[in-house]
Structures are given as structure tokens and as C-alpha cells.
Amino acid sequence: MHIVRRLLLPLLALLGILSAVPVQAEEMPTFTLVMRAGRFLPETIEVPANTKFRLLVKNEGPGAEEFESVELRKEKVLAPGASSFLIFQPLKPGTYKFFGEFHPATAQGRIVAK
């Protein structure tokens, strides 16, 4: 359902990496999200509001999984055993849902910005 965005995302991701300054990356708060057996661990991630942050995503499998947030306009497909990261621009206080597109019935989570 996101073929067009899937084609654009690698380019956008590349631009994001190239424009990231290492010093900023070091200072950026980082949170880890594990995908395992069709679920997210943890299902709720609390982040500081109004602060750019990084989300490390690890797929422990089995099978592929896709982190997706419609509200946050983020998605990342990961093969089993793969890990990657997403950079989030500062969020206003609130709750932002995400889901695993390959297991939408069970893989549900939220980022809570406070």
C-alpha cells in the first residue's frame, strides 16, 4: 500500500544520513524498539516532547516486519535479524500510534511525547 513512498524513502533516508552531523547524533536521545513474533517490545515508548530523537528498530523475527506510523509518516521494512533506525523530528506532546504492517492485529504500539 505504500509503493510510491517505498521508492522515495531510501533516497530520503540517505539524505537524512548525509545531513546528520555526528555530534548531533551523539546528543540525540535514542530509544530501542524490538519486533518479535508479531509484537513490539515495548508497546509504549515515552520520549521527550519537542526534542529530536532516534528510534533503533530491531527485528528479531521470525519473518519480515514493517514499522509503520501513518500519523508520523514513517515506515521501515526489516528482514528478520535486521536492525536500523529512524530519526524523528520534535513532536508536540501527545500519543502517536504505530503498527507492524505484517502483523497489524497484534503489532500495535505508541510513542508518547511528554
> Residue numbers of the site for Cu ion (CB under 5 A)?
2, 68, 75, 101
Q: How far is the CB of 64 from Cu ion (least distance, A)?
A: 12
Q: How far is the CB of 73 from Cu ion (least distance, A)?
A: 11
Nearer to Cu ion, 58 or 68 (CB): 68
Q: How far is the CB of 114 from Cu ion (least distance, A)?
A: 27
Nearer to Cu ion, 28 or 77 (CB): 77
Q: What is the 3-state secondary structure (H, E, C) of the chain?
A: CCHHHHHHHHHHHHHHHHHCCHHHHHHCCEEEEEEECCEEECCEEEECCCCCEEEEEEECCCCCEEEEECCCCEEEEECCCCEEEEEECCCCCEEEEEEECCCCCCCEEEEEEC
Nearer to Cu ion, 28 or 64 (CB): 64
